[in-house]
Chains A and B, each alone.
Chain A
């Protein structure tokens, strides 16, 4: 007989840190209380989010199966784990992996739990987390206990708190870094984890560390808080410190982080971030989620005032011995090689090795060692691959690996002499593909696969593009190979499309009464310089035509680039008007009867739908006055972007404002085709008929987009800087998107 199995709680009792074990017990109790209706569903929702248990698509119990909208009859349909979230609906578990560092034992454990509680896949995110999908909420306490037993916590992986602390995967082996930021990332992550001063944020706060200014790896520019390693010499002694940045972020309105402090001594970084947290918790927006990220607070106060407040706060902080103890502990950080490095010999190389070596192998600062990137399609790894990776990490390196923000796996400290054997060993795992970080190695957020907010299939598109580009990879020109493609399923930008050469985010358009999946094309973002510049939206193209967009843009760049010109420089040189006209032919959508493939998304044969759609009567196109109005608005906002490029801020602001008024006017035409062209009347009618009725409001963003129009109406003329003009253009773009969505909803209503 098998002896009594007991529970994971009993079995792992001695292997979990006591406070963590206690927290998980409390969470298990909260689960039980919620099931019995003794804990408010909103409170429970935030509680589970702060434990990393996230919602997933269709968890409201509704799904359109391609023929009709259906109610999913889950067994406990009257119990909810949050507003509009069914108890039994599969959910997502986000697992924080600080700076993407995993040891072999942790990798094996992740493999086990992905099989037992999810669908067997560990998904690497763009912030070095692991996500498991299709997890039942009642399995989460045991899942957390097993993670805790190998030193991993899911605490504050989601919710309004400090999210995973990320850092360059090259930290410690990079040829250009100031020093290894890995142990500092560890210190920041662990100091702030569960800290009382980070419990009262209005929104999430993401931190990244980078070893240098010029490479991309840390992406500090797009984070709420960033740390860039620096050294200085004082009295002949080298001192370590960091440039501290604040208020970056992607999402609907992207902001570049601003320099908060030029140099903060290493021993000051923990109190500095504690002080920042206090200022943010005290003064950050709490009611309006759309304005609650720290970037809005920094914008509102100005970085000088924010700095003053942080310094003031720092001075009043009670002394904490961990500020220095945790930094002193960084000196004990060891990331040593498994064996002495040896040169790559001249012997026989396996077939395919050279191409792989060129694209996936980076020569470390330490002679005779390499960092190897394993290309992981869409960031998905099976349990078998994970176990074999654990084995390889023990065989070739020091039993560790790192997850990258490009959704890949990185092995460091590989002796060059071992590279051919490693390449051979990767083959049975299907992880020997060349082209890591290339145009074929596409980053994508979960999109409509699992995300509740997804509009279009980012993963479906990424799979298709990757398949095509991988097949062509050997023939691609080297400058094309180096381009980066990143895809988000909606404007929230989890796929980091703003910092790709070629970025896309999902949206939709109505054509002949049908909803057609589209992607907004965003060109010219900058990955280097820690995500140094964001691309601008060029226009929406039907999802089916995106492969043609990639082909066209890449080919034009190859043919027309000047010697040494980067993609960003090329796009700037030819100008947005030219880029837009390049895409014009690709914007058309054939009629429903002519080509139905346009009316479904990549990898999903269901007719694309945002709800129940009536079938249009006409074989041809019916273009309404509203369609025209929205098209006018799009044109106007495009002109605003061009003006922005030409540093005509006032013109950009005025055009952005006018584009919003045009879009609002287009909508009003559904009710009153004689609407005046006077902005006062348009805004007033829009407020009455679309805002106050809630008709224009986005299901998730609420009145956010409507407020952009009202704000612009009041104050567009006061725009005086490039940054505020840029923001107004971005807001206009989003307002127009919201107008399209509103119009779609109106057409779909019975």
Chain B
């Protein structure tokens, strides 16, 4: 199956220790210093929106946001442009970008206390209701491919998957792993899969 418009949301570890709008400056610095390997365009402040995209970093290939959907804060990477390769290769690319952004945010001198994101708790989303309606049929097709990817990216780690239950929402699966690699380790591992 040709999945496109894949997204990943890495969960925040604990609470944010500062107001969410502090990410605005950091995302502008991402643009100024070419911190990520994709072209970044602009920063958008949605902090006034209830449980919304929070602070949005608009890119050409993908958007990133400090997303607050359902009151759960996380770093969301949403690919917009088509990706080539197998499902595993596509997922590796998306997750790697999320990991690179998370690592950069965790290491920022400007965000205090430093935010921490979970490399072992994330949700994979397919942002396309045409190819991936939120149905049991989609789950049955997508899940084996996701499991195969996780087995390769997180070798030897146990994995629990939980699908998004509301059929009106985008199809997605929450991934919970038994071990938490550092983002350095994860980025290295994913580089071999892309």
Contact = CB atoms under 8 A, between A and B. Distances in A.
A63 B43 CA distance: 12
Interface stretch (A66-74, A256-264, A628-636, A648-656): A66-74
Contacts of A467: 48
A380 B49 contact: yes
Interface string A363-382: 00000000000000110111
Nearest to A74: B60
A466 interface: yes
Interface in B1-53: 1, 5, 21, 24-25, 28, 31-32, 39, 41-53
A67 B30 CA distance: 12
Interface string A107-126: 01000100110011100000
Contact of B138 (A2, A134, A384, A430): A2
B50 A605 contact: no
Contact of B50 (A1, A74, A116, A429): A429
B185 interface: no
Interface stretch (B94-102, B127-135, B151-159, B186-194): B127-135
A86 B58 CA distance: 16
Contacts of A90: 41, 58
Contact of B127 (A8, A66, A116, A603): A116
B69 interface: yes
A605 B24 contact: yes
B184 interface: no
Question: What is the interface residue range for chain B against chain A?
Answer: 35 or more
A368 B42 CA distance: 49
Given A2-B1, A606-B28, A119 B58 contact: yes
B168 interface: yes
A186 interface: no
A339 B46 CA distance: 37
Contacts of B81: 75
A301 to B, nearest CB: 44
A306 B51 CA distance: 52
Given A72-B41, A430-B50, A387 B56 contact: no
Interface in A1-50: 1-2, 5-8, 11
Nearest to B43: A604
Nearest to A112: B129
Given A2-B1, A5-B130, A134-B58, A65 B51 contact: no
B20 to A, nearest CB: 12
B5 A384 contact: no
A65 B34 CA distance: 11
B32 A431 contact: no
B53 A120 contact: yes
A73 B50 contact: no
B56 A119 contact: yes
B147 interface: no
Given A90-B58, A384-B69, A603-B21, A67 B42 contact: no
Contacts of B44: 119, 449
Given A5-B130, A88-B60, A429-B50, A463 B45 contact: yes
B63 interface: yes
A491 to B, nearest CB: 23
B165 interface: no
B134 to A, nearest CB: 11
B178 interface: no
A377 B49 contact: yes
A380 B5 contact: no
Contacts, number: 104
A460 interface: yes
Given A382-B49, A382-B51, A384-B69, A115 B42 contact: no
A605 B138 CA distance: 43
Contact of B32 (A7, A66, A112, A381): A66
Contacts of A431: 50
A143 to B, nearest CB: 12
B56 to A, nearest CB: 6
A57 interface: yes
Contacts of B45: 449, 459-460, 463, 603
Nearest to B1: A2
A416 interface: no
Interface in B114-148: 127-131, 137-138, 141
Contacts of B28: 65-66, 604-606
A6 B133 CA distance: 13
Interface in B72-103: 80-81
A8 B80 CA distance: 18
A6 B2 CA distance: 12
A58 interface: yes
B170 interface: yes
B61 to A, nearest CB: 9
A398 interface: no
Contacts of A460: 45
Contacts of B25: 605
A73 B137 contact: no
A603 B51 contact: no
A616 B31 CA distance: 25
Contacts of A121: 46, 49, 52-53
Interface string B162-173: 000000111000
Nearest to A383: B169
A73 B128 CA distance: 26
B141 A380 contact: no
A120 B44 CA distance: 12
A108 B130 CA distance: 16
Nearest to B141: A2
Contacts of B138: 2
Interface string A90-110: 100000000000000000100
Contact of A463 (B48, B141, B169): B48
Contact of B48 (A5, A119, A380): A380
Given A58-B42, A116-B5, A385 B56 contact: no
A724 interface: no
Contacts of A72: 39, 41, 60
B137 A603 contact: no
A687 to B, nearest CB: 39
Given A5-B131, A429-B50, A604 B24 contact: yes
A11 B81 CA distance: 23
Most B-side CB within 10 Å, residue of A2, A115, A116: A2
A136 interface: yes
Nearest to B56: A119
B24 A11 contact: no
Contacts of A7: 130
A466 B48 CA distance: 10
Given A2-B1, A2-B138, A58-B41, A387 B46 contact: no
Contacts of B58: 90, 119, 134
B42 A116 contact: no
Contact of B24 (A8, A381, A430, A603): A603
B69 A382 contact: yes
A382 B39 contact: no
Contacts of B46: 121, 380
Contact of A57 (B21, B42, B53, B56): B42
B42 A63 contact: yes
B65 to A, nearest CB: 8
A381 B51 CA distance: 10
Contact of B51 (A88, A116, A384, A387): A384
14 contacts: A2-B131, A2-B137, A2-B141, A11-B130, A63-B42, A65-B32, A88-B60, A112-B129, A119-B56, A377-B49, A387-B168, A429-B50, A431-B50, A604-B24
Interface of B: 1, 5, 21, 24-25, 28, 31-32, 39, 41-53, 56, 58, 60, 63, 69-70, 80-81, 127-131, 137-138, 141, 168-170
Ranked nearest first, the 6 interchain pairs of A and B with the lowest CB-CB distance are A430-B50, A377-B48, A382-B52, A603-B45, A605-B25, A2-B141
Given A75-B60, A380-B48, A429-B50, 7 more contacts: A1-B1, A2-B131, A58-B41, A112-B168, A378-B48, A384-B51, A431-B50
